[in-house]
Amino acid sequence: MTLSRRDFLVTTSFALGTVAHAFGQNTAAPPAPPQTSFDPLRGSVGVFSGRGGTIGMLVAPDGVVVVDTQFQDTAAIALSNLRQWTPRTIDFVINTHHHGDHTSGNIVFRPAAAKIVAHRNVPALQKTQAAGAKTDAQQAYADTTFDTAWSEKVGGETVALKYYGPGHTSGDSVVTFQNANIVHMGDLLFYLRNPRVDRAAGASIKNWIVLLETVSKEHPADTIYIAGHSKVNHPFTVTRADVLKFRDYFAGLLAYVQKGIASGRSAAEIVKVVGVPGFSEYEGSPEGTIQAAYEELTAKA
């Protein structure tokens, strides 16, 4: 089945129109409906964006896979659109990692999915996160986990998950649609945005650098990479060169922070900069990322 943007826009405007109509009974102004979009990429794989981490979708007559689930409201839109295309049970919902902007929609997809798959560290990290936010009743957790690698044939596609060690967290999967030659990076790839480095969840910038290079070597030159988040008005899909540029960003970050430490500057002084030197076009404050680099470089082994 070929997904078209036109099909998606028709069904999206229908879903949003229904929401607007329901709110139209109230005198209070309705909350703005979430803005969503869908881009077909290659083969039967496309990318849905709304609020939170991008959702990858394989939609074929003989196989359906959803990668990450955003929040309940946008997950409901994504699912209702999926249902316009196919009644098939979702073979696999995959969580690239545990963060709430990638897993809060699990509960929406759960009744429609045969399995939820994630790295083995994800359920415990998600439980800790939910306990802190008091949202445990709104969670659905992976029922299928793996240690270093997992793959399944789904119709004419093979979907493969791989764990490369700690990066953004200690449970990040790289998800490859092998035939379509598309890789969903989850939050291992922020495109032109200063990334979150979740040290409490076991993140490692040093290993993140290694894994970006390894991933780029393990996939063909023309692989399409889906970023978890991108700078506003920039694409969610990028190339190998962009993956390697993100590696270089981290190398530049560590070099900058190491130099600051060597010259006796405090973390508070080192974070006071408009951007990581050489990467000032990256969106958002670099403060949290620089702070994480400082902590990693000064941590006692």
Site of interaction with Zn ion (CB under 5 A) = 99, 187
Between 63 and 228, name the residue whose CB sits nearer to Zn ion: 228
Between 187 and 242, name the residue whose CB sits nearer to Zn ion: 187
Between 91 and 187, name the residue whose CB sits nearer to Zn ion: 187
Least Cβ distance, residue 66 to Zn ion (angstroms): 17
Least Cβ distance, residue 57 to Zn ion (angstroms): 19
Between 63 and 167, name the residue whose CB sits nearer to Zn ion: 167
Between 13 and 285, name the residue whose CB sits nearer to Zn ion: 285
Please enumerate, as own/partner, the contacts of 205-209 that have beta carbons within 8 Å and a separation of 24 or more.
205/250, 205/253, 205/254, 205/292, 205/293, 205/296, 206/254, 206/296, 207/164, 207/165, 207/166, 207/167, 208/166, 208/167, 208/168, 208/250, 209/247, 209/250, 209/251, 209/254
Least Cβ distance, residue 102 to Zn ion (angstroms): 6
Q: Which residues pair with 145 in a beta bridge?
A: 118
How far apart CA 49 and CA 70 sit, in angstroms, is: 9
Least Cβ distance, residue 99 to Zn ion (angstroms): 3
Least Cβ distance, residue 289 to Zn ion (angstroms): 13
How far apart CA 242 and CA 191 sit, in angstroms, is: 8
What's the token pair of residue 260?
A: 């600051």
Between 99 and 219, name the residue whose CB sits nearer to Zn ion: 99
Least Cβ distance, residue 201 to Zn ion (angstroms): 9
How far apart CA 77 and CA 37 sit, in angstroms, is: 10
Least Cβ distance, residue 168 to Zn ion (angstroms): 6
Between 140 and 185, name the residue whose CB sits nearer to Zn ion: 185
Between 94 and 154, name the residue whose CB sits nearer to Zn ion: 94
Least Cβ distance, residue 187 to Zn ion (angstroms): 4
How far apart CA 49 and CA 56 sit, in angstroms, is: 9
